[in-house]
Structure 1
Amino acid sequence: MMSATLSTTFIRDLYARMLLTRIVDDHAWKMHRQERIDFIASCRGHEAAQVGSAVCIEVGKDFTVPYYRDLGVVLTIGMTPYEVFHTYLQTHLSGNRCSEEQPASKPTAMLHWGYHKHNTVTGPTPMATQILHAAGIAFACKLRKAPVVTVAYCSDGVTSEADFLEGIQFAALHQLPVVFVCEQNCPDSLADTPSCLHAIALPSGLTHQRIDGGDVITVYRAMQAAMQHAREGRGPLLLEMCVTRFTPSSSTTEDITTIESAEQHDPLLRFRHYLQEQGLWDDEWAAQLNQRFTIEVERAMQEALRDA
């Protein structure tokens, strides 16, 4: 990591946003263990990729199309912890209503992040269709000659879907101002994990870059350059961000081993070590930050439960 031209305030803000994402995610898991909600797709391990990319989005101007695991994206754009928990609870209640109406075929719950006042487009249930939606939004922006970038997020699990392929091909054909962010789960290092796109013939006119999604500074710099590239009308980009996904789903030995083996890739710990190396880490500041966020998120969770 290199911090040239980045202020101490900005770098610490990145850490704060990642920490907030982790704490909200932990509380969502708490709700799940208490059976308050049925479904949770943890973003643990994705914090650097999500926060480092989302801070580059011009809120209220650019369009964002997140996928269900993008908690760090919606928080960074401006969604509050209360609104996040409210979304989880509404998803839970909606699934229960569907179950009562059709008890024989209870649908799988799915988070539909939406924050229209900040141009965050609600994602559909079918995976990869958000890529087509993003291409369509970017096409409309280009026709209007607006200096607006559309950012679409997805997982590596949808890259072979027809909607994904059609979306990136359409964007490349029309040289649209859109950035596609693919969060690839990489159990090993970036060098040891093959690209999830290795079997796909990417269209000409689409710039592709694969980066370490666990390094928030690297993500920020790559995304900042990508947004400028797209905003200047130089065509779409596909950023493949390698992250290590790990979830504390239970206390079984197998899960604990999985979590411990992933700790070396934890983006929060990596960033803390970086801050310490740069002389930017302060134990008192970090403790106060953690305490403040924990109190605020706990209060938001309780208020959302009360209102639900």
Structure 2
Amino acid sequence: MTNSTPSTTFIRDLYARMLLTRIVDDCAWRLHEQGYIDFVASCRGHEAAQVGSAVCIEVGKDFTLPYYRDLGVVLTIGMTPYEVFRTYLQMHIPQTATDADQELHPARRGEPVLHWGYHKRNTVTGPAPVATQILHAAGIAFASKLRKAPIVTIAYCGDGATSEPDFLEGIRFASLQQLPVLFICEQNCQTDADIPSSSSCLKDLPLPEGLTHQRIDGNDVMAVYMATRSAMEHAREGRGPVLLEMYVTRSRAGSQAYYLSSTLGRNDPLSRCQQFLQEQDMWDDEWAKKLYTRISAEVEQAMQDAMRDTQPPFSRRGDRAQP
């Protein structure tokens, strides 16, 4: 972790935001398993990288370009669980839907990808092609620089995006123009044993001059927060673009024991944050249990409300809802 420790309230808030992300993600998986939605790109294991970075964004001022797995980012900058579930549910085309139903929702056809968008928080809807958001972020940052606005654009991607030409062209342009932009790459390491020994997903790329690059333990929410805060200040002060490579360990959804570290992997973001809180004498079991109970109830209600408001009678695969 870090030697410079923020307040207990702030760190507990980070933990709560990661817990919210985990519970929403698991509920989305539940909807998928029950046939209500077609596609889920789990962010389990990415919570620290997403929440720890997104809390540094000046919401409504800075621009955010998330990628399809960035549930924790959109929740942190203001999207509600209800809005998240509506996004999932509105993508689904029931098997019993008619051609006319599908024509009403042409965006649902083709490869299923979550296009997070939230205009009132300056969140730019991501395209389906991988890595093109990097180019879009460079363009937005260029416009901000021309307008002399103290705005930072932050763009997220997965390690698969780094092999695309759009990625390299985007960071090259940002470096050449010394743009106020932060790129965050969430690199998935297959197992705990891979961290931090795994090789960088950028090792074969010729990173341009003028780009500040740093590797971060993406399972450590405090390390992510401190690195992102510094990077945002760097970009906002006109010192050029920053690329933060955050290595994470993606894991399967399903566990309900969120606040019991003994049930989580050693690099699980929630477990790591809990351990840090315990070391700093900031952890309280009763607080954690009440937090889990409250967030679970709120998310469950949001999911039920979203289903009520979006699902037609034929919404479940192969079934019709009973009257």
Query: Normalization by structure 1: what TM-score?
Result: 0.92
Q: Within the alignment, does 1:145 sit opposite 2:148 as a pair?
A: yes
Partner of 2:234: 229
What is the aligned-residue RMSD (CA, Å)?
2.2
Name which of 151, 159, 162 aligns with 1:156: 159
Name which of 200, 213, 216 aligns with 1:211: 216
Whole-Å Cα distance in 2 between the matches of residues 5 and 52 of structure 1? 14
- 8 Å CA contact 2:37–2:92 kept in 1: the answer is yes
- 8 Å CA contact 1:153–1:181 kept in 2: the answer is yes
Unaligned runs of at least 5 residues, structure 1: 251-259
Residue deviations 1:70-120 (CA, integer Å, cap 9, x gap)? 00000000000000000001122499788956xxxx622110000000000
In structure 2, the CA distance between the partners of 1:203 and 1:261, relative to structure 1 (3 Å rule), is: farther
Partner of 2:134: 131
Q: Give the deviation of 1:4 after TM superposition.
A: 2.5
Helix, strand or coil at the partner of 2:266:
helix
Whole-Å Cα distance in 2 between the matches of residues 262 and 167 of structure 1? 37
Name which of 116, 120, 123 aligns with 2:119: 116
In structure 2, the CA distance between the partners of 1:70 and 1:63, relative to structure 1 (3 Å rule), is: same
Partner of 1:292: 294
Whole-Å Cα distance in 1 between the matches of residues 240 and 195 of structure 2? 26
Unaligned runs of at least 5 residues, structure 2: 104-108, 256-261, 311-323
- 8 Å CA contact 1:142–1:177 kept in 2: the answer is yes
What is the letter of the counterpart of residue 210 of structure 1? R
- 8 Å CA contact 2:93–2:102 kept in 1: the answer is no
Partner of 2:91: 91
Whole-Å Cα distance in 1 between the matches of residues 94 and 86 of structure 2? 12
Helix, strand or coil at the partner of 2:163:
coil
Partner of 1:49: 49
Whole-Å Cα distance in 2 between the matches of residues 22 and 283 of structure 1? 18
Whole-Å Cα distance in 2 between the matches of residues 145 and 92 of structure 1? 42
Helix, strand or coil at the partner of 2:225:
helix
Partner of 1:61: 61
Whole-Å Cα distance in 2 between the matches of residues 211 and 5 of structure 1? 18
- 8 Å CA contact 1:64–1:121 kept in 2: the answer is yes
- 8 Å CA contact 1:56–1:223 kept in 2: the answer is yes
What is the letter of the counterpart of residue 212 of structure 1? D
- 8 Å CA contact 2:186–2:247 kept in 1: the answer is yes
Helix, strand or coil at the partner of 1:241:
strand
